[in-house]
Amino acid sequence: MKKIIRITLIVALLGVFGYTLFFLYDKNQAPETSYQIETAETRDILLETVAAGKVVPKQEILIKPVVSGIIDKIYVEAGDIVQKGDLIARIKIIPNMVSLNNAENRVKQAQISLNNAQIDFDRNKQLYDEEVISYATFQPFELALNNAKLEVEAAEDNLLIIKEGISKSASSTSNTLVRSTIEGMILDVPVEQGNQVIEANTFNEGTTIASIADLGKMIFEGFLDESEVGKVKEGMEIILTIGAIQDQTFPAELEYIAPKGTEKDGAMQFEIKAPLLKKDSTFIRAGYSANASIVLDKREQVLALNERLISFEKDSAFVFIHEGNQRFTKTPIQTGLSDGIFIEILGGVTLDTELRGKMIELNK
């Protein structure tokens, strides 16, 4: 009985020991490997640099008053389409008391002069009618009366301009009527009825009553880092992507590169501008954020490989060509333009060449 137990224990220990050795051996075995087979493809390759910015009107006009006063009425609101000369607002004049007093005194003085000239005219007119005096003697009194009438009209017009900003002879072109100077869309009306406004003059830029722009002529404004600005030049093709307009791009052409940079966040940035070349009816609002992809170089429909299929050693590039049964031969190739993912192939492989791709691990 003891002999049977002893034999059983020995067999069990040998079994455990054998299993352990097998487990460790199996654990240390490297898994079998296999590779996907891939080929080159024909595609376009673009070398680009990206600039962030926004889309704004090419020309935005700020409408400012030429007289100071209070907004009496506003005739437009943001989004309205206006033509050149359309009425924007009307201003109520708040006259300067000194100027008003002087104008009223001028009217009174002109009226006194007119009354005196009328008396002299009437007296000498009677003498002229009775042929007591000649026309040469009477003429100065007639001229004085006419001048006095003109002075009264001028004084009254001056008083009316100071009080209301208009004159009798030019009521339709009053300075109190603010009109559009261009055709376009009202972008903003930053004032409200009852607001006080200041005229544009030498010492003050004046209060903006409205901003107007032609949204059919838009331009991209952005900034390029100093490391990229040396690679671009005027006339380069640009592809704009606008964040608010999904799945659509817009062509543009680089028109302006700032000769002087601006420091932002510790780096020098150079302003660039590019007018949109859109021909469709897509409505683009002023101020949309956008990214501009500037095409530095491009190749159309060339033989290309994904760069992960290529091994780079110093100045040379290699691929592994499939010879059958998962056997590969390291072969040099000639490369061209790269966009960072795909690279142009100038020689060494063809469209049908089978290449070693991604490794697939197969456990034993």
Token readout for 196 is 């006080």
Q: What is the CATH number of the domain that holds 190?
A: 2.40.50.100
DSSP assigned state of 231: T
Give the pLDDT score at 25: 57
- CA 83, chain centre distance (Å): 23
Quick one: 278 and 160 in the same domain? no
Is 2 within a domain?
no
Q: What is the CATH number of the domain that holds 132?
A: 1.10.287.470
Quick one: 220 and 293 in the same domain? yes
Alpha carbon distance 291, 94 (integer Å): 49
Alpha carbon distance 92, 164 (integer Å): 7
Quick one: 114 and 158 in the same domain? yes
Select from 191, 221, 238, 241 the least CA-distant residue to 287.
221
Helices (H) and strands (E) in the chain, counts: 4, 22
State which residues form the domain around 310: 32-44+300-362
Token readout for 229 is 């600005």
Q: What is the CATH number of the domain that holds 294?
A: 2.40.30.170
Give the pLDDT score at 170: 56
Is 9 within a domain?
no
Give the pLDDT score at 219: 92
Distant-in-sequence, close-in-space partners of 328: CB < 8 Å, separation ≥ 6: 35, 320, 321, 322, 356
Q: What is the CATH number of the domain that holds 335?
A: 2.40.420.20
Alpha carbon distance 220, 287 (integer Å): 10
- Name the helix (H) or strand (E) containing 292: strand 288-306
Q: Please list the residues that pair with 251 across neighbouring strands.
A: 239
Is 20 within a domain?
no
User: 251 by DSSP, 3-state: which?
Assistant: strand
The structure tokens 């501009």 sit at: 292
Is 21 within a domain?
no
Distant-in-sequence, close-in-space partners of 297: CB < 8 Å, separation ≥ 6: 46, 47, 337
| Tens digit of each residue's pLDDT, the chain (364 residues) | 666 666 666 666 666 666 666 655 555 554 456 888 888 889 989 888 888 899 999 888 999 988 888 898 999 999 899 999 899 998 887 766 677 678 778 888 888 888 888 888 888 888 888 878 888 888 888 898 889 889 888 888 777 776 666 666 655 556 778 899 999 999 999 999 988 888 877 788 889 999 999 888 889 999 988 888 888 888 888 889 888 888 888 889 899 999 998 888 888 899 999 998 866 677 888 889 999 888 888 888 999 998 888 888 888 888 888 888 888 888 899 999 988 889 999 988 888 888 888 877 655 4
Is 11 within a domain?
no
User: 281 by DSSP, 3-state: which?
Assistant: coil
Is 308 within a domain?
yes
Quick one: 88 and 180 in the same domain? yes
Quick one: 254 and 127 in the same domain? no
Quick one: 131 and 273 in the same domain? no
Q: What is the CA radius of gyration of the chain?
A: 44
- The pTM for the full model equals 0.60
Amino acid code (one letter) for 84: K
**Tally of domains in the chain:** 4
Give the pLDDT score at 30: 46
Amino acid code (one letter) for 353: T
Domain final position from 277, 298, 319: 298
Quick one: 229 and 244 in the same domain? yes
Distant-in-sequence, close-in-space partners of 147: CB < 8 Å, separation ≥ 6: 117
Quick one: 274 and 347 in the same domain? no
Is 18 within a domain?
no
Domain final position from 147, 180, 213: 213
Alpha carbon distance 14, 18 (integer Å): 6
Quick one: 69 and 208 in the same domain? yes
Give the pLDDT score at 122: 86
User: 60 by DSSP, 3-state: which?
Assistant: strand
Cβ atoms < 10 Å from Cβ of 158: 18
Quick one: 209 and 219 in the same domain? no
Task: State the chain's maximal CA–CA distance in angstroms.
Answer: 180
Measuring CA to CA, how many Å separate 164 from each of 62, 85, 126, 189, 354? 24, 21, 42, 24, 88
Is 3 within a domain?
no
Token readout for 193 is 């009825």
Quick one: 146 and 251 in the same domain? no
Give the pLDDT score at 152: 84
Quick one: 316 and 263 in the same domain? no
Domain final position from 213, 231, 247: 213
Alpha carbon distance 324, 328 (integer Å): 8
